Copies of this chain bind each other. A is one copy, B any other.
Amino acid sequence: MTSPKRTTIYDVAREAGVAASTVSRTLRNPRRVNAATREHVLAVAERLGYRPSPLATALQSGRTATVAMLVPDITNPHFFGTIRGAERRASAAGITFILSDTEESADNELTKIEHLARSVDGFILAASRMSDERILELAEEHNLALVNREVRGLPSAVVDTSVGSRQIVEHLASLGHRSLVYLSGPHQSWLAGERWDSLRDGAERHGIRAVRLGPFPPRLVGGGAAADAVLVTGATAVVAHNDLLAIGVLRRLAERGVDVPRRISVVGYDDIFGADFCVPSLTTLAGPQDQAGRAAVELLLENRSRSTARTPDRRVMLPSHLVIRESTGQAPE
């Protein structure tokens, strides 16, 4: 690759016989320029193959036309939908999309934010592991939008799992289950807390005994220990923090010769890739994660420029729905 001096706004100006500022206007505020000059400038720019420098624009204007998304674990299929949705939306708006993996660490989130602070217009924090306090503090200085996390006063897009969690309980109750175990996810996960609250709440209403176990790493491997722990409790139904964990449980139960769903029913969250072709296929709470990602980008875009004056803080709530497959069935006896 060679860099034969990119053509700048000045090259265009000279060639077109106008001032640089006119070229700039032609590009940013076409209507503030005489139609004739405008056409001419555009033609010259086109001919010279002029491409604006986003860097220079950003440095001068303060707008970078870039957003960064921070994800605890890129590898986790749970986030694929969110990432895709956000990327698509950003791309459609001509916004550059930066993706960063924070490896499940709140400290990493902070570091990355500091690092990128001046290069982006805002951050999308997906399932942030940081405390509410820290997030609020950061929001003082940065433009933030949260995904699957709520913090007072901050814009967020979350796939509602409260209603869905109750649906899970109802589903299990209707199948005759009288007890369930919830396998919780990462300790700092806000979602994990939300889900447990709703499950317990639902369980109470239906006179079902609910127990929480964990935390377990929200990955396939976590399923081994989780499954064994479940068997000890004698519960007839288990709800895992996410599908990854649920599939891990399924595998371990199969290994141990435990019949699902005859002996025990298993439910997950997210409806990730694979939930429909594992065996037995997984009953799970599905949600439009990609829409959440998409909404987050929109929230960010709305909120920029308006340095201080923030909008009536927007919260987007997306509905989830229960997908019933083969891993849940009539309670034993």
Contacts and interface: CB of A to CB of B under 8 A. Distances in A.
Contacts of A114: 51
Nearest to A59: B55
Nearest to A120: B96
A3 interface: yes
B100 A91 contact: yes
Nearest to A62: B3
In the complex, the count of this chain's copies comes to 2
B140 A2 contact: yes
Contact of A1 (B6, B142, B273): B142
Interface in A257-292: 273-274, 277-279
Contacts of A74: 80, 83-84, 87
A320 interface: no
Contacts of A91: 100-101
A16 interface: no
A310 B139 CA distance: 44
A323 interface: no
A210 B125 CA distance: 50
Contacts of A119: 54-55, 96
Contacts of A277: 247, 250-251, 274, 278-279
Interface in A306-322: 307-308, 310
Interface in A40-82: 51-56, 58-59, 62, 64, 74-75, 77, 80
Interface in A1-34: 1-3, 6
Contact of A307 (B3, B115, B251): B3
A118 interface: yes
A90 to B, nearest CB: 9
A324 interface: no
A75 B64 contact: no
A100 B118 contact: no
Contacts of A100: 87, 91, 97
B2 A307 contact: yes
Contacts of A307: 1-3
B273 A118 contact: no
A101 B116 contact: no
A248 B83 CA distance: 24
A102 to B, nearest CB: 9
Contacts of A140: 1-2
Contacts of A143: 1
Contacts of A77: 77, 273
Nearest first, the 6 A-B pairs at minimum CB distance are: A274-B274, A99-B99, A55-B59, A279-B279, A53-B118, A1-B143
